[in-house]
A and B are shown apart, each in its own frame.
Chain A
Amino acid sequence: MRVYLDNAATTKVDDEVIKAMNPYFNKIYGNASSLHSFGNEAKNALENSRRIIAEKINADTSEIIFVASGTEADNLAILGTAFLKEKGHILTTKIEHPAVLETCKELEKRGFQVTYLDVDKEGFIKNFEDNLRKDTILVSVMHANNEIGTIQNIERIGKICREKNIVFHSDCVQSFTKESIDVKKMNLDLASFSSHKIHGPKGVAALYIRKGIKLKRIIYGGHHELNIRPGTENIPGIVGFAKASQLLNKNEIERTTKLRNKLIDGLLKIPDTKLNGSRERRLCNNVNVSFKYVEGESLLLYLDEKGIAVSTGSACSSQTLEPSHVLLAIGLPHEIAHGTIRFSLSKYTTEKEIDYTIKSVKEVVEKLRKISPIRR
């Protein structure tokens, strides 16, 4: 049995998405900027996709631009704001994705001040208002965390930023389609979305830019995408992204939530385990559990042998020795953070797979605990 439970890293492309994309490789292949009919056809597909994404988040069509990755969307939002304002203070959190954290660190080197907010043990941000300053130019708080699935109260943060006239960005890469997103209700100025997390193709993403919000471009070239993001548009990818955004329905979300709960309950029956993140305000597909006395990488590789794909922390951190910054931020001790696994489900996950996973994890954890020197 092969079980893919790493959907927070990336997802399988939906068959319907592939079908929607197909004509745009060799039938409708024009450059959307060209004036002839080939170009017009591509332009129509582009604008139709933009409309679909805009409607999904209650935005205006003119407020969406397409970029090449969630990482780029985050970079453009943050650097674009900072470079326009030239100086000031940025408020973000300790649990952001590296696409935000590393961008902020770079800005620190360039003379901006950055505050990284602490979070409580479930991953909710703390002391938000106390850390706003007179010179705060930008707030960036992610909607749902990619490791522990905690969903922040974005509406409240947005409201405060709007009142104080501070630009507010949210990384909505993990929450898109799984949680309802209404940019108006949530008071968003900038928001990032990525296609490959929602059963769309890789290398396509979108940035929502509220009307009136200005950004300095970070890539130079032609006049594409509202003059902010040059580069010939990836029409097949964009069409696939738009299609993917329409596919996850309420039933599938409910079904995924049920399976998620079953997995949580099953895993917590193993002694000395702990669920990380919030039980209530949690992504419908995220399970993050610490297994005391065992080390995550070993657990991951033994599960891989059984055909089960999971992750320790995030895919990006598997090349370093440090435990996940998110798990440390919620206060896990080093060795517990080290024994933590993320299981991320999708609409394709079946009950049989969940049963098999619970059984396999139990076996592997027992096996590893037998050779663990820290179990007294």
Chain B
Amino acid sequence: MYSESIIKRFRNPKFAGEIKNADGVGEEGNIRCGDIMKVYIKVKNNKITDAKFKTFGCAAAIAASDALCELSIGKTIEEALKITKSDIINLLGGDVPPIKHHCSILGVETLHKAIENYKTKS
């Protein structure tokens, strides 16, 4: 069902874990599948310098969380808000089963929540 590149990222996520004193934390869930994602970001001079995730979900959700963190790091808040589902899917190699597209959307939504949380804090 999954491509090599999704499985590879799912097996060895680089950004799994949490950031202890994160500047922004966001949590979001998908009602249909019941999966939950949590994203932690560290922000310096309006730039995301670190990102980590915790995910209770399918392989596509874990891979998408990891890709999302990779995409976010080094981006300004404005740039990060422009990350789309397609960006994540592209980084995952493009070949994401249609039934698993919402896992990448969940990633985008969770990042937005984390950024919102950062904005209310700062």
Say how far A9's CB is from chain B's closest CB, in angstroms: 15
With A298-B10, A334-B34 known as contacts, the answer to whether A371 contacts B59 (CB < 8 A) is: no
* A295 contact from B11, B13, B17, B35, Cβ within 8 A: B35
Chain B residues 91-121 with CB under 8 Å of chain A are 99
Please tell me if A180 contacts chain B, counting CB pairs below 8 Å: no
A323 to B33, CA, bound (A): 8
Give how many B residues have a beta carbon under 8 Å from the other chain's beta carbons. Answer: 26
Please tell me if B27 contacts chain A, counting CB pairs below 8 Å: yes
Residues of B near A1 (CB, < 8 A) are none
Residues of B near A58 (CB, < 8 A) are none
Contact B99 A373 (CB under 8 A): no
Q: Mark A272-305, 1 if CB is under 8 A from B, else 0.
A: 0000000000000000000001110110011001
A298 to B13, CA, bound (A): 12
Say how far A331's CB is from chain B's closest CB, in angstroms: 16
Contact A372 B59 (CB under 8 A): no
Contact B16 A335 (CB under 8 A): no
Say how far B35's CB is from chain A's closest CB, in angstroms: 7
Residues of B near A302 (CB, < 8 A) are 11
A371 to B15, CA, bound (A): 10
Contact A301 B54 (CB under 8 A): no
With A301-B7, A302-B11, A319-B99 known as contacts, the answer to whether A373 contacts B59 (CB < 8 A) is: no
Please tell me if B32 contacts chain A, counting CB pairs below 8 Å: yes
Q: Is the contact region of chain B dominated by helix, strand, or loop, or is it mixed? A: mixed
Please tell me if A35 contacts chain B, counting CB pairs below 8 Å: no
With A321-B32, A335-B34, A371-B53 known as contacts, the answer to whether A298 contacts B99 (CB < 8 A) is: no
Please tell me if A210 contacts chain B, counting CB pairs below 8 Å: no
Chain B residues 19-76 with CB under 8 Å of chain A are 27, 32-38, 53-59, 61-62
Contact A295 B57 (CB under 8 A): yes
With A321-B99, A335-B34 known as contacts, the answer to whether A298 contacts B11 (CB < 8 A) is: no
Residues of B near A305 (CB, < 8 A) are 11
A298 to B54, CA, bound (A): 13
Which 9 pairs across A and B sit closest by C-beta, in order of nearness?
A: A373-B38, A373-B54, A321-B33, A371-B16, A297-B58, A334-B34, A372-B56, A371-B54, A374-B56
Residue pairs across A and B with Cβ atoms less than 8 A apart, 8 shown, are A298-B58, A305-B11, A322-B32, A335-B56, A372-B54, A372-B55, A373-B37, A373-B56
A residues neighboring B (CB under 8 Å)? 293-295, 297-298, 301-302, 305, 318-323, 334-335, 338, 370-374
